[in-house]
Amino acid sequence: MRTMLFHKTCRKGRVFEHDDKDFKKHGWVDTPAKLPDLPKEAVKISAAEVRDMSPEGLIKKVESMGFIVMTQEQLDAKINQALSGNKKSKK
């Protein structure tokens, strides 16, 4: 199973083809929002604030909260790139 995980030393994430239980024991998490050095206070966005934002403004706001924002096509390309890199390193 392919899983994208994040680590304090790998904030952009990495795709793994293994069971993620072992990785999580070593500090890997399934979202950058769970990384330990992020602020613990909840950042709230009201529905009215979202309605008034442009798509670009909403993306910037969500990224400022520690999330990575990408389209499905960008995510697929990143996964394929990571997998092709993993195959090359196994040779």
Model confidence pLDDT, tens digit, residues 76-90: 898 888 888 755 544
Distance CA 11, CA 83 (A): 18
In three-state secondary structure terms, 86 is helix
Q: Please report, for the chain, the start and end positions of each structural domain, with discontinuous segments joined by +.
A: 3-90
pTM: 0.42
Q: What average pLDDT does the structure give for the chain?
A: 79
Using the structure block, give the residue that is written with the tokens 């950058």.
32
Using the structure block, give the residue that is written with the tokens 């604030």.
49
Using the structure block, give the residue that is written with the tokens 């040779």.
91
CB-CB neighbours of 9 under 10 Å: 8
Distance CA 22, CA 33 (A): 20
* Mean pLDDT confidence for 44-68: 86
* Token code pair at residue 63: 């990224």
